[in-house]
A and B are shown apart, each in its own frame.
Chain A
Amino acid sequence: MFDDLNDLYQQVILDHSKSPRNFFKLEVANRVAEGRNPLCGDQVTVYSLVENEVVREISWQGSGCAISKASASIMTDALKGKTAEQAKELFRNFHDLITTGSSDSKDLNKLAAFGGVNKYPARVKCAILPWHAALATLDGKANIVSTE
C-alpha cells in the first residue's frame, strides 16, 4: 500500500526515528535553543557546547514525527566537530536537497536519506525544524524558533 513512501521513509530514517542518537540533555551545554512547529505540535530542544566557534558536543530532546526525529538525530551526529561556518554550509546543502531533491554536495552522507522529502512539501518543515534550533545555538540566539 505504501511502496511510494519508501523514498520518504528510508530505512535510515526509520532507524533513527525509532532509536534516536544524541537524545539527552547535554549537561555541559553552553547554548540551548528550542524549535516548535505549532501546526503539528513538534517540539525540539537542541543543546550544544560551542567553543571557539566549534561544536564540541551537541544533543537534543523533544517529540515529533518520524521525519523530525530522524532529522534531529542524524543532524546532531553530523554537526559534532564542525565549525559554525561548516555547519551553515552543511545546512545550505541539506536545504537544497530537501527542497529540490538534489544537492551539489558530496558530503551529505546519512543526510542524503532525506532526498525524498521534497516530494512532500508539508514535510519539509519537519526536516528543517531541528536545524533552525541548532543554527540558533551557533548564532548564540538562544530563542524559541518556529517554522511558522
Chain B
Amino acid sequence: MSGTETISQARPVESFQSLEDRRVEFPVLNQKVHGCDLVYFDNAATTQKPRRVIDALTYYYEHDNANVHRGIHELSNRASSAYENTRVRAAKFLNARSADEIIFTRGTTEGINLVAQSWGGKFIKAGDKILLTEMEHHSNIVPWQLLAARTGAQLVYLPVTGDRGLLDLSRIDEWLTRDIKLFAMTHISNTLGTVNPVTELCAKARKLGVTTLVDAAQSAGHRKVDVQEIGCDFLVLSSHKMCGPTGVGILYGRLDVLEQTPPYQGGGDMISSVDFFNSTWNKVPHKFEAGTPNIADVIAFGTALDYLDEVGREKIAEHDIELSAYCYAQLAKLPGVRLFGPETGRAGLVSFLLKDVHAHDVVMMADQAGVALRGGHHCNQPLMRKLGVESTARASFYFYNTTAEVDRLIEVLREIQRFFGTV
C-alpha cells in the first residue's frame, strides 16, 4: 500500500466558506515579520505549501523511503508505486492522453533545457527560426540562445505593445510563418500578468507545421490547463509555484514527439540495456529520467495536485482575477504610480512603480512592514529594457490572499511615499 493515501487528514470541504479560509492550512502564513502580520505577495516566485504537502514529505521519509524501479522489496514497491501514481495523477491534472507523456524534471527551467537540447539538438538546423515572445522569462530565452549558438539557428521575437503588455496579435501572420520550426511562448507573463491566448496560437502554429512549447509556470497552479485543449506539443511547469515542493517540475510532451526525441542525460533508469560501447534506451518517459529521481518531492507534488483540485482551479482563477483587479484599481489611486500590464483580464499579479522611489526601496520598506513583494527585473531583462525601466515592484497573489491584505499594501505604499516626501 502506498503511504501517501493514508495521510490525508483534510478538513471536510464544507468547513471552508471561502478560499481565504484556507489560510489556516498554510502554517508559514501565520507569523509576524518585523513585528507585523506577514502579507505574502510573492507567489509568482514561489507559493506557500499547505500542511498536508509538508506532511506527505515527512510521511514518505518516515514510512516508505526507498529507491524506485530497482528494489523488489516492500519499501521500494511502495516508493515506486507512489512515484508512478503521481505521474498518472499529473496526466489527469493536465488532461494528457497518457501518463507516458509526463516527464519529471527539476522544474520549468530544466524542462525547457531538455527540449532545447534533446528535441532541438535533433530537429533544429542552421538557418532554422525559433519564435519566442518579448515577454518570456529568461528560462525561455537562454536555452534557445544556447541552441542557436550551437546550431546556427535564428531567434525571432513576437513583439509586446506598450505598457499594457499584450502580444501584438494583429501582426501574428508576419511572425508565425512556415519558416518557424518552434514557437515557445509563456501562458502567463510573470511580470505583466498578461494571459496569452495559447490555444489560438498553438492552433495557428499546428496548421503551419510549427512545433509548440507552452511555459505554464505561472498558470498551472492558477487555472485549468488542459494540454489537449491547448493543443501544444510541449508544456512545462514547476511544482513549487503550485503548492508543491521545490525541485520538481513536469515536462509534458506529445507521445509521438517524445518518441522521436533522443534522451537528455545518460545514466541509470533511462536505459534498457548497456554494454561497454552501446546502450539501448528505456521507453518514454523513463528515457528522459536518468538517475535516482526526486522521489519524495514528486510524491508530495502528487498531494499538492490533489489539494489544488479539491480547492478548485476555476475558483482559484476567479479569485486571482478579482484580487488583482482590486489591487490594480487601488494602486491606480496612488499619486505618481505607473502600472504595467493589461487593465482587464489580468492574472493574479500587478507590477508597478512609484514616481521617484526606486523599486528596491519600495520592496525593502514594504518588508519592514511585513509585506513580501518582489522588486527587480523578474528574470525579464529584455522586456524591462523595452518598457524603459530597470526594475518594477510586483505583488503576486494566491487563493489565500485577501482584499484586506491588498488594503494593507496600499496603506504601506502611501506611507512609503510620505517617507520619501514624494506626495
CB <8 Å contact, A5 and B375: no
User: Interface stretch among A48-56, A90-98, A120-128?
Assistant: A120-128
CB <8 Å contact, A40 and B391: yes
- What B residues does A39 contact at CB under 8 A? 376
Instruction: Please list the residues of chain B having a beta carbon within 8 angstroms of any beta carbon in chain A.
Output: 34, 356-361, 364-365, 368-369, 375-377, 381, 384, 390-391, 412, 415-416, 419-421
Q: Which 9 A-B pairs have the closest CB atoms?
A: A41-B390, A65-B360, A65-B358, A41-B391, A1-B415, A40-B360, A65-B361, A66-B361, A40-B376
**A81 at the B interface (CB under 8 A):** no
- What A residues does B420 contact at CB under 8 A? 14, 66
How many chain A residues touch B (CB < 8 A): the figure is 22
Instruction: Please list the residues of chain A having a beta carbon within 8 angstroms of any beta carbon in chain B.
Output: 1-2, 4-5, 9, 14, 18, 39-43, 63-67, 69, 120, 122-123, 126
Given A9-B419, A40-B391, A41-B391, does the pair A1, B412 have CB atoms closer than 8 Å?
A: yes
A–B complex contacts, Cβ < 8 Å, 10 sampled: A1-B368, A2-B415, A2-B419, A5-B419, A14-B421, A63-B390, A64-B360, A64-B390, A65-B359, A123-B364
Q: How distant is A48 from chain B, measured CB to nearest CB, in Å?
A: 24
- What A residues does B375 contact at CB under 8 A? 40
Q: How distant is B395 from chain A, measured CB to nearest CB, in Å?
A: 17
Given A63-B390, A66-B361, A122-B364, does the pair A18, B356 have CB atoms closer than 8 Å?
A: yes
CB <8 Å contact, A41 and B419: no
CB <8 Å contact, A43 and B390: yes
Q: Given A2-B368, A64-B360, A65-B364, 17 more contacts at CB 8 Å?
A: A1-B368, A2-B369, A5-B368, A14-B421, A40-B359, A40-B360, A40-B390, A41-B376, A41-B391, A42-B390, A63-B390, A65-B358, A65-B359, A65-B361, A66-B361, A69-B358, A122-B364
* CB nearest to B412 among chain A residues: A1
- What B residues does A2 contact at CB under 8 A? 365, 368-369, 415-416, 419
CB <8 Å contact, B419 and A126: no
CB <8 Å contact, A64 and B358: yes
- What A residues does B419 contact at CB under 8 A? 2, 5, 9
Q: How distant is B168 from chain A, measured CB to nearest CB, in Å?
A: 25
- What A residues does B381 contact at CB under 8 A? 41
